[in-house]
Each structure stands twice: as C-alpha cells, then as structure tokens.
Amino acid sequence: MIRFTLKRLISGVILLFAVAIGTFFLAHAAIPDPTLGLLGTAATPEAQQALAAKIGTDRPLMVQFWDWFTHLLRGDFGDSWKNFTPVGKQIAVKFPVTLSVVSLAILLSAILGLVFGVTAGLRPGSWIDRAVKIGAVVLFALPGFWVALVLVMVFAVQLKWFPAVGYVQPGQSIGGWLLSITLPAVALALGAVVMVAEQLRNAIIQADGQDYVRTLRSRGLPSWRVTVHLLRNAAPASLTILALMFVALLSGAVVVENIFALPGIGALTQGSSQNGDIPMLLGITVVAVVFVVIVNFLLDILLGWINPKARVK
C-alpha cells in the first residue's frame, strides 16, 4: 500500500507541473500582447511599451517562463498585471468561497446519489428507478444557469428561505454562511446527483447478480449486510464519478458565482481573461489543479483500500 501511495503521489506531482507548464505557453499564445487588454485599445504605443517593460513581456518567452517557473517552485505566483498585488493573496481570499460551494455540492451529490442509487439499484423497475433515469436525462439537458435562476426565483424571491445573492463569511455567522452557499451548491449538485445515482444503480444491479451475493443470501445474512457488500463492490464507479464531478463543478462554479454574486474565483477568472492578466490566470489554474490532484490522490488511496486489486496498477 505504501508503494502504491508513493506512485500515485509522484504521478500527481508530475501532472501538476505538466499542466502548469502547458498552461503558461497556451496563455501566452492566446494573449500575445496583454498590454492591449490591460490598458485598453486607446492606449498609446509608448504606454504599451512602458507597461511591457514593467511586467516583463518585452523579454524572450523562455526567459519569462524560467522566471515564472522558478518563482512557482518557491510558492510565489507573482504579482497581478492589473493591480500589481500578489496573486497568491488575492486567490487566498477568493478561492475558499468557491471551494466551500463546490465542497457542499460534492457532499450533497454523494449523500443524495447514494440514497437514490441504492434504492433504485435494489428495486430495479420501481418508480424511483424510473425517476432516476428520467432525472438523469432531464437535468443534463437543462442549462446550469437556468436551473440556478429557477432556484433563485422560487426559494429566494418567492419563499424567501435563502438569500438571493451575496456571501456571508463563516467567521461572521455559520448559519448565514450555510444559507448563502446552499442555493449555489444545489444548483451545481443537481446534475451530479443523478449521475452518481445512475452509476451506483447500474453497479448494484450488476453486482446483485453475482454468485457471492446469492451465497450470502442463502446463508441467511440480513439484507442490510448484503447491501453493505454490494456497496463495497459498486462504490468504485461512483467514487470515480464524484472525482470527475469535482473538476466539472469547479468549472461550473464560474457561472453560478456570477448569478449569485459570490466573491469567488468566478469573477476573478472572468476579469483576468478579459484583461489579459496572465499571472492571475496561471495562479488560478495551478491552485485548481492542486486541488484536483489532491482529490484524485485521495480517490486512488480510497479505491486501493476498498479494492486491493487496484493497488497493482
């Protein structure tokens, strides 16, 4: 298990650096002259040259890369080209907002997906089984922003159960913080819930037909213990979906945060893209990839613990 863990850790670090390096060159290829976005199209050539000298884009690209990469190895993302404040400090303020929404969405997806998936898998052909299938089609067909707007209109504007916009820091009020992130998390989680439920349902139905399950039932084991054995064999597919959903939810949070006016990385990413603030875009990408690598690393460890056969890969 230790060897398996070390292999997964090393592969995660390699992936992190590969994505960071690729993102650097892609960003500079997509934004060849960031001074236009930073100063506006009305900027004079002299102002553009002065800004290019200040931010270092007048140097060869490989020199810029080496300077950025060596600072990255020390945990320094550099300064924003828009306001010349440290990128790390700005992300440290914004990213926890996004992470709290995504984490709650993942938690809701896991709990509700488990309930619906197990119920549908143990009762194939029942009404809840058909509801899971229909929900998987409908919720994936609906645009995420439309779902978010409906949630705001119903639960915030009409019922007034939740705030329509804004964010409350957990240090100010835990209850207010939970209320402020609930609707955004639900908007993100709806599609993931049916995805997890569908995968878990299919895995349980497949596992339920195995010989060992019939043997357990013939020995008179209680149904809940048989269900636990089924979940142990059906869990890997659903856990993998949850890890993939984490990546998708991070991307979807950009849209949802704009709808709910949350001060997360959504607005920061959008503004940086429009302004050509490459250091900020690179910092956001690296931090997001770090969390993706951590989630996938934990997933590999969990799958290796659940299924010892996975450790040989």
pLDDT digits (tens, 9 = 90+) for 3-42: 767 777 787 788 888 888 898 999 888 888 888 888 877 7
Which pairs from 154-163 meet CB under 8 Å and 24+ separation? Answer: 155/183, 156/183
Residue 203, in any domain of the structure: yes
pLDDT tens profile 167-183: 888 888 888 889 888 88
Q: Identify the CATH number of the domain in which residue 244 sits.
A: 1.10.3720.10
Residue 207, in any domain of the structure: yes
Are 53 and 35 spatial neighbours (Cβ–Cβ below 8 Å)?
no
Residue 21, in any domain of the structure: no
pLDDT category of residue 67 using cuts at 50, 70 and 90 = very high
Residue 244, in any domain of the structure: yes
User: What is the domain range of residue 99?
Assistant: 93-269
Residue 28, in any domain of the structure: no
pTM tops 0.85, yes or no: no
Residue 223, in any domain of the structure: yes
Residue 312, in any domain of the structure: no
Tally of domains within the chain: 1
pLDDT category of residue 65 using cuts at 50, 70 and 90 = very high
